[in-house]
Amino acid sequence: MKSFFNYLDKQIIWCKSFLQEPDGKGSIKRLLMLLIAISFLRAYFKVALNTNIIVDIPQNWMFLLAGIIGLGILDRYVQLKNKQ
């Protein structure tokens, strides 16, 4: 039973690391990115399961997800560039 709680504690710490910046502070940016990705997956899989057809990603979702990924990469690049 103790090993289960150790495992659970490690998983909670791992999940919290998703929402933290490298310096350990909480990140609203990462929280919003996670919520948008979850809402997309929920809506996309709901449609796929109800119709039994895997459809193309709608353009508005495609641009939103690509923009989030691109802005995340740009933010990281600017942070690294400013440290030099």
**10-36 confidence digits (pLDDT tens):** 988 887 777 777 777 777 877 888 888
Distance between CA atoms of residues 77 and 64, nearest Å: 20
| The pLDDT of residue 78 | 87
| The pLDDT of residue 26 | 74
pLDDT at residue 74 is higher than 80: yes
Distance between CA atoms of residues 33 and 36, nearest Å: 5
Q: How much is the average pLDDT of 33-45?
A: 84
pTM here is 0.59
Q: Which range has the worst mean pLDDT, 14-23, 45-54, 61-70? A: 14-23
- Any idea where the domains of the chain sit in the sequence? 2-83
pLDDT at residue 41 is higher than 80: yes
